[in-house]
Amino acid sequence: MRRTNAQWLRDVLVAINAIEQHLQRGALSDPLIFDAVRVRLIEIGEAVSHVDQRLLRQEPKIEWRAIKDMRNHLAHNYFGTDEMIVADVVNQGLGALVSAVNRLLGGKSIK
């Protein structure tokens, strides 16, 4: 059975919540925390890649393509991941993403 846009978007929120929990346990400078956050960012990118583009266009301020590209970078460049980039995403990008996903989930066109 094919998953719905709403299910994929909820996966994004679950992954962000997990990132927040990981960061409560330690800093990104801790290799275990960094790896845990990195995996959740990969999950976010994977989930976003399955959401209908027409739906994502309703939130044009979010750089959906960059989220997918980040997933590809994190998933395939194991040793080339810059901690500063991950820190910037976590510190500056997740709040806006949560808000956008919640708006999309609250919309009438969600399936």
Q: Is 25 helix (H, G, I), strand (E, B) or coil?
A: helix
Q: Is residue 89 part of a domain?
A: yes
Range of the domain at 66: 5-106
DSSP state, residue 91: I
Provide the pLDDT for residue 111. 59
Residue 82 lies in a domain: yes
How far, CA to CA in Å, does 16 sit from each of 1, 2, 77, 80, 94?
A: 25, 23, 21, 23, 7
**Whole-angstrom Cα distance, residue 7 to residue 105?**
9
Residue 75 lies in a domain: yes
Question: How would you write the pLDDT of the chain (111 residues) with one tens digit per residue?
Answer: 899 999 999 999 999 999 999 999 999 999 999 999 999 999 999 999 999 999 999 999 999 999 999 998 888 876 777 788 889 889 988 999 999 999 999 976 565
To 10 degrees, the CA torsion angle through 95, 98, 99, 104?
A: 160
Structural domain count, the chain: 1
Pairwise CA distance, residues 82 & 73, whole Å: 10
- Predicted TM-score (pTM) of the model is 0.90
* Residue 111 forms part of a structural domain: no
